[in-house]
Amino acid sequence: MADEPSRAQQLLGDLAPKMVELTDEVLFGDVWKREGLSPRDRSLITVSTLAATYRPEQLNSHLRLALQNGVTKDELVEALTHLAFYAGWPSGMGALTQLKAIVEETD
């Protein structure tokens, strides 16, 4: 049975094979697997950064990954509420709206 295509492969397919390779091998194959931080901590940092810089497309998949990596819904709510005071209200509200939709979809 063949492996499922990665998210990068699904999004970019044959359009940008080097970007897919870098995403799969360097970012998720090396950077995300380094010992300095747990996947949970990396998810919390990544979600915060994506929310603060208003990157909703990437935030959606990283909110899901954060939940898979053990960040709880309540921790994400608290982090994103805290973030709103430093990154701006629209960033916090937008991220919380996305989280709500994901939680409702998975419940």
70-82 confidence digits (pLDDT tens): 999 999 999 999 9
Question: What average pLDDT is seen over the chain?
Answer: 94
Among candidate residues 34, 79, 49, 43, the one with its CA nearest the CA of residue 63: 43
For tokens 């063949």, name the residue.
2
Which residues neighbour 13 within 8 Å (Cβ) at sequence distance 6 or greater?
A: 20
Instruction: Tell whether the model's pLDDT for residue 1 goes beyond 50.
Output: no
Task: With cut-offs at 50, 70 and 90, classify the pLDDT of residue 37.
Answer: very high
Question: Average of pLDDT values for 52-75?
Answer: 96
Task: With cut-offs at 50, 70 and 90, classify the pLDDT of residue 107.
Answer: confident
CA distance 68 to 21: 23
Percentages (nearest 5) of helix, strand, coil residues in the chain: 75, 0, 25
Pick the CATH number of 38-106 from 1.20.1290.10, 2.60.210.10, 1.10.3720.10, 1.20.1740.10: 1.20.1290.10
Domain ranges, ordered by start, for the chain: 1-34, 38-106
